[in-house]
Amino acid sequence: MPYSNEIVKRNNVTITGSGEKTLLLAHGFGCDQNMWRLMLPALIPHYRIVLFDYVGSGNSDVSYYDQDRYSSLEGYAQDILDICQALDLEDVVLVGHSVSSMIGLIASIQQPSIFSRLIMVCPSPCFLNFKPDYYGGFEQSDLEELLDLMDKNYIGWANYLAPLVIGSGSSEDFVAELSGSFCSTDPVIAKTFAKATFFSDYRNLLRKAKHPVLIFQSSQDSLASTIIGDFMMEQLPEAELKLVEAKGHCLHMTHPDIVNQCLREYIA
């Protein structure tokens, strides 16, 4: 079908694996589908894996980029729904990293029949503090300064954020890879995605979740503290929390074996 081919090309969709159950892996801000590679060897023998890049990320077709559409997470959720429709997917387990946890939640609420479970790796429904009731981790002024740095020194911004995201003590190769991924994204696209990510507030959607949720959380994460995990557990109708003794915001890269094992047990 022409529409299917267009979406596959647009989002650089890759399909691998041979299992009956389908896993749709959704990357985080500033990343692309390659960030899942360390998990794939253990998943491919058991599941059908669908990988993709959001429009504007990775090797997606940037000619499809629309700044209005992608100024909110709903635009990225539509990418997920488009892919599911193009591939005629059903009973999907959606695995989202960071902001894709909320993007996946939006998609699953809009079209619940497509999905069966959600797995969230280092999620946060809101990065902003709303004292005294909610601590997302950042004051608005802090995030505004971070975005201002994107305008003044884009490479400097990438080199500052990458080690913060990966976590102290992690491989320098991961830091360099993430910084390079940030730098490879068009600055206008990156800033639009950053605004949609860091200034959004989707706490109200947690109670509307229509599927069981597994949350992976790092014990030391500069972007999503353990307070966030506790809050989400209180709000989600049906959820489990796996706290991993680790530093950083990218457990699928730094601790893929733990994520894989718990993911497989949860699905089984």
173 is annotated as an active-site residue? no
Catalytic residue among 32, 53, 79, 221: 221
Catalytic residue among 32, 53, 57, 98: 98
249 is annotated as an active-site residue? yes
Catalytic residue among 97, 249, 252, 255: 249
218 is annotated as an active-site residue? no
Encoding tokens for residue 209? 């979740």
Residues catalogued as catalytic: 98, 221, 249
